[in-house]
Structure 1
Amino acid sequence: MNHLFRLGRLLLGLSIVMLMGGRPAAAAASLEGFWKGPLKMPGGQLEVVFRLVSLTNGSYFATLDVPLQKISRLPVTVTTHGDTVVFEAEDVGSQFTGQLLPGGKEVQGTWKQPGYSVPMTLQYAPPPISTAPKARLTPPYREEDVQYTNTAADLRFGGQLTVPAGEGPFPAVVLVADDAGYDRDGTVGDYRLLGILGDYLTRRGIAVLRFDSRGAGETGGILATVEETVTDVQAALNYLRTRPEINLSQLGVIGHGLGGNVALLTAAQPLPPNFVVALAAHGQRGAPLAVEQQANTLKSLGADEAQVEAAVKRQQAIMEIIQNTANAAQARAIVANMIRQTNPSVDSITARAGAVELTTRRYRSYLAFDPLPKLGQVKCPVLLLNGTADLNVAPETNLTALSKALRGNNAVTSRKLTGVNHLFQSDASTWPLVNGVPKESFSPEAEEVIRQWIVSLTQKKTP
C-alpha cells in the first residue's frame, strides 16, 4: 500500500483536498536526496529540508523536516511534470511548487501555506553513501518467523517472534504499530520503530512478537479499524500462550500511537494481557484530534491565529460532512465539490479520488473513534509515555485525558519525555553516527524507561 498516504491520513490537513496529489510523472533526472532551503517567515527564517527516496514504482518516499521547530519526518507527496516539481506537506496544509533549473541541483519556486506565500529556493544535496557492511550480524537471541490465525476474522497473520538466549520461560510482549497497514517493524522510511524496540527488549530478556498489520507484509486482508485490530492483538496473545518459552503470567502489549489505544482496549477485553505500555496513545476522538494536530503544526510553522482558525474551519467542515452523511456516494460527491471549491486547480478526477479515500469505512470509523469510555475496565498495570516534542499527539491534552479515564486503576504510571517526538526519537543531535551520518534511533531514555518498568512488574533480572 502507499506508505505516505497511510501516514498522511492520520491528519486531515488543510491541503487534504489535494490528498492524492496526482500521479507522479517521470522526471528527467532522479530527485533522490536532500533538498534544503531557507523559508522566510515574519521575524526571521527557517531552514526546511525535504528528503526524497526513489521507490521501485517510479514514485518517491518523501518527508519534511524543520529542525528549528523540531518538526521531523512529516509526510510529503511528490508530483513532477517535466521540470515542474510539487512537494505537498498535507499534514500542515503547505505546498512548494518550483522549477528544476538546468543542472538539476536547484529548484526555484514558491512556498504556500494558509494565508502566506513566499518565494523559496531549494538546493540539492546527494543522499549519504553508506559504506557499512551489507551483511547483517546474527543477534544474540533466537528469531523465528511465525504465522497465527485470527479466527474471528478468518485471517492469517505473518510475524516474527524473538526469544532471548538462555532458559525460559520469559516475559513477552506483542508490539502494535501506529494505525493500519504497517509492517511488523512499524517502518517509517528507513526507521524501524518497532524493530529497534523489539531488538532492545529481546537483548534484555523479554520475548517479542511483532506482526504485519492487515494488508501489509505477509498478512492479507484490507486495512483494519481500531476495533478490528484489537481482535488481531488478542489472536497474537493467544498464539504466545501456546509457546512453552513464554511465561503466561507475564504477557504484555506495547502499542504506538493508535496502536497504544489498541493495547489499552485489548486490556479491557476478556482474557486481557498482564500489562500494557501505550506510547503516544490518543486521548481524544479522532475528529478533534485531527483538528488539534493541524493547528499545532501550523503554529509551529509560523502561522498566525487567523490563519490557523481559517484552516481549522475548513477542516471541520469537511469532517462534518464525512461524519454526518450516511450515504457514501452523497458524501463523496459533497466532499469532492468542497475539495474543488477550496483548491480550484484540482481536477475533478483527483478531487473524487481524494473524496473516496476520505469516506471509506475505516476513515469514518477513525473520525468517530473515542478512546476513553472503555478504559474504566482496564485493571492491569499501565505505562503511559508521551514526548514533549510530539506534534501529532500532544501530551498536555492526550496524556491528561488518558490518565483521567484510567483513574480507577491504581497501577497506572504516566510520564512525559523531554525532547522526544511522535516517533519516539530524541533530538537529531543525539542520534548515533554511522560512517559519519546520523542514524535515526529510538530514544534511549524511552527504551530504558520501558524496560525498567516491565522488569519491575515481572521481577525478572535482565542484563
Structure 2
Amino acid sequence: MPSMSLRRTLCAAVPCLAAAAAMAAGPVHAEDAGGYWRGRIANALDVFVQFQKGPDGHWAGTLTVPQQGMVSKVDKLAVTGDQVSFAMTALDAGFTARWNDADKAWNGTWRQQGRSVPLVLRRTDAGSLKPSRPQEEAIAARAPGYTGSEVRFANDAANVTLAGTFTVPHGKGPFPAVVLVHGSGPLDRDQKVFEHKIFLVLADHLSRQGIAVLRYDKRGIGKSSGVYAGATSLDFASDAEAAVRFLRGRPEVATRHIGIVGHSEGGLIAPLVASRDAGLGFLVLLAGPGVRGELLMAEQLALAASANGAPEHVVEKERVLNQAILAAMASEPQLEAARARAKLVVEEARRNGTLSADAEARVGLFSTPWFHTFLRHEPGPALRATRQPVLVLNGELDRQVPAAMDLDAIRTALKDNPRAVVKALPKLNHLFQTAVTGAGSEYFGIDETIAPAALDIVSDWIRATAR
C-alpha cells in the first residue's frame, strides 16, 4: 500500500523548530565544496548532496533522500567562498550554510514550508549511497541451487506482454509454483524499494526450498509492455491471472499446486484472482489489506503523522479531516465526481478553520484511477469467496497496513474457511524486516531485506500445503 509519509516533502510533519544557521566566527577558508556530502534532517531523514563544478565554472547539485526514494537536482545553487546555498523549488524548501573549519562541515539550516531545522553536511563518498544488503549479496555470491530464465507471457485481454524471471528448483519435478504479485507503485520483477530487492530474496528462498517462482515487471515497467499510468488494482489482477495461466502451461509445474504470494496491494489482488479461479491451489497474503481502502488510508495517514512527531491532538484533527475527504471520494463511482465532492469537503474545512496545509494537495494526489479504485475497494467479498488454503501474515509493527485493523477484518472474512491461517509476526514492519518502530523512514536503513523467520514460515506452509 502507498505510504503517504514518503516521497512527498522532506519534513512536512516535523514540529516547527526555531533554528538559526550555525555560523563560524572569524575568517574561514572553506574546503572545496565539490564531491559528496551527508547530513540528517530532524534526526530522521538522511540526505546526500553532490556538488559539482563544471568546466564553465558553474555549479550543479543533486540531492538524494534514500528513505523517500528521492533523487532531484537542486535549484539556485550558489557556492561563494565559505558559504553554500540552494533551493528545492518544487518542495518550497532550501538550505543555507557556512563552512565550519573546526567541524570540517557545512553548518546550516534547512527551511521548508515556513519551518526550519538545523542541517549539517559532512564529507562522504559515492559508496555511502550504496547501502549494505547482506541477503542480496549472499545470493550473488553462492551457487543458486535452481535454474533461472527470462520469460514472457501475454495478457491478451489487455494487449499487454509481461516480462519476468522464472526460477525452477534443481531436481525432479513437477514442482509446486507461485506467482509473486507486487505491492503498489511502478515496481519491477524484484520489487525493488529503498534499495531492497524484496522479490529477489523471496524467490531465491522459495526456489531453494523446492518451489518454482514466477516474478515479473509490472505492465509498462522494465521489459513489460503496456502503460502503467492509469492502471488500477483490477488491471493488475488481470495481469496476475495471465501469470497463473503461464504457469499452468509449464511442464516443470505441478498444476494442482499453483499459488499466489501477494505483498501489500498484491495481497488485495490475490483473493480477487482466487475468487474467480477455483483451480488455484493456495494463497499467501503478506500485509494484504482487510478493510475498505478509505478506512485503511485514513489510518495510515494518522500513523505516519504520529511517526513523524506530530502531537496527538494534531493527529486526531488530521484524522477527522482525512476521513471526510476519503469518504467523499469513495462515495462517488466516477473519478471527476469524487474529486468535486472532496473539494467541497476542503472548502467546508477552510470555512470552519480546520483545513490543514496538505489537505488540498491530498485531494489531487488521490484523484487518480488507481487511488480512486483503491479507496472504493472492499476486500471482504473476495476473501469470503476464497475456498483455497490461505496463509495471512502481517508484521505487528506495520504502519502502512496496521496489523490489528487488518487481521481482525481478515479473520472475520475467512471464518468459514477451515484452511485459513492468520498470524501477526512480532517486531516486523510492512516489508517484513526486523524493525524498531515500523516507520517508513526505517526501511532504507535496515540492512535486512526480509526477516529469515518470515521466509521460513512462508516456505514451510507452502510445502506442507502442497503435500
Bucket of the pairwise TM-score, normalised by the shorter protein: 0.7 to 0.9
**Segment drifting more, 328-337 vs 374-383:** 328-337
CA contact (8 A) 2:175 2:252 kept: yes
- 2:276 aligned counterpart, secondary structure: coil
Judged with a 3 Å threshold, the aligned counterparts in structure 2 of structure 1 residues 391 and 456 are, in CA distance, closer, same or farther, namely same
Is 1:273 the counterpart of 2:275 in the alignment? no
Deviations 1:346-377 (A, max 9, x none): 9xxxx89x866532222211111111122111
Structure 2 counterparts to residues 308-457 of structure 1, below 5 A: 308-320=315-327, 322-323=329-330, 326=334, 328=336, 331=339, 335=343, 357-427=365-435, 439-457=447-465
- AA aligned to 2:256 is S
Cα distance in structure 2, aligned partners of 1:87 and 1:282: 36
Structure 2 counterparts to residues 95-134 of structure 1, below 5 A: 98-102=95-99, 105-110=106-111, 119-124=117-122, 126=124, 128=127
**Segment drifting more, 223-232 vs 190-199:** 223-232
- 1:328 aligned counterpart, secondary structure: helix
Distance apart, 1:106 and its partner CA: 4.2
In structure 1, what is the equivalent of residue 46 of structure 2?
Answer: 50
- AA aligned to 1:81 is D
In structure 2, what is the equivalent of residue 434 of structure 1?
Answer: none
TM-score, normalized by length of structure 1?
0.75
Is 1:164 the counterpart of 2:161 in the alignment? no
Is 1:36 the counterpart of 2:40 in the alignment? yes
Distance apart, 1:315 and its partner CA: 2.7
CA contact (8 A) 1:212 1:218 kept: yes
- 1:452 aligned counterpart, secondary structure: helix
Distance apart, 1:219 and its partner CA: 1.3
Judged with a 3 Å threshold, the aligned counterparts in structure 2 of structure 1 residues 251 and 421 are, in CA distance, closer, same or farther, namely same
- AA aligned to 2:152 is Q
- AA aligned to 1:315 is N
Question: Whose Rg is larger?
Answer: 2
Judged with a 3 Å threshold, the aligned counterparts in structure 2 of structure 1 residues 161 and 393 are, in CA distance, closer, same or farther, namely same
Judged with a 3 Å threshold, the aligned counterparts in structure 2 of structure 1 residues 30 and 169 are, in CA distance, closer, same or farther, namely farther
In structure 1, what is the equivalent of residue 221 of structure 2?
Answer: 216
Structure 2 counterparts to residues 220-299 of structure 1, below 5 A: 220-223=225-228, 224-299=231-306
In structure 1, what is the equivalent of residue 145 of structure 2?
Answer: 140
Cα distance in structure 1, aligned partners of 2:255 and 2:221: 28
Judged with a 3 Å threshold, the aligned counterparts in structure 2 of structure 1 residues 31 and 226 are, in CA distance, closer, same or farther, namely farther
In the comparison of the two structures, how many residue pairs are matched?
A: 405
Judged with a 3 Å threshold, the aligned counterparts in structure 2 of structure 1 residues 355 and 377 are, in CA distance, closer, same or farther, namely closer
Distance apart, 1:318 and its partner CA: 3.9
CA contact (8 A) 1:332 1:359 kept: no
Give % identity.
27
TM-score, normalized by length of structure 2?
0.74
Judged with a 3 Å threshold, the aligned counterparts in structure 2 of structure 1 residues 327 and 458 are, in CA distance, closer, same or farther, namely closer
Structure 2 counterparts to residues 20-99 of structure 1, below 5 A: 34-36=38-40, 39=42, 47-52=43-48, 62-64=65-67, 80-82=74-76, 83-85=85-87, 98-99=95-96
CA contact (8 A) 1:212 1:219 kept: yes
**Segment drifting more, 96-105 vs 332-341:** 332-341
CA contact (8 A) 2:4 2:300 kept: no
Judged with a 3 Å threshold, the aligned counterparts in structure 2 of structure 1 residues 187 and 30 are, in CA distance, closer, same or farther, namely farther
Deviations 1:181-234 (A, max 9, x none): 211111103100111100111112111000111221111223331222222111
Deviations 1:147-174 (A, max 9, x none): 0011221211111100111111111110
Deviations 1:79-111 (A, max 9, x none): 73332355999xxxxx97532544874441357
- 2:144 aligned counterpart, secondary structure: coil
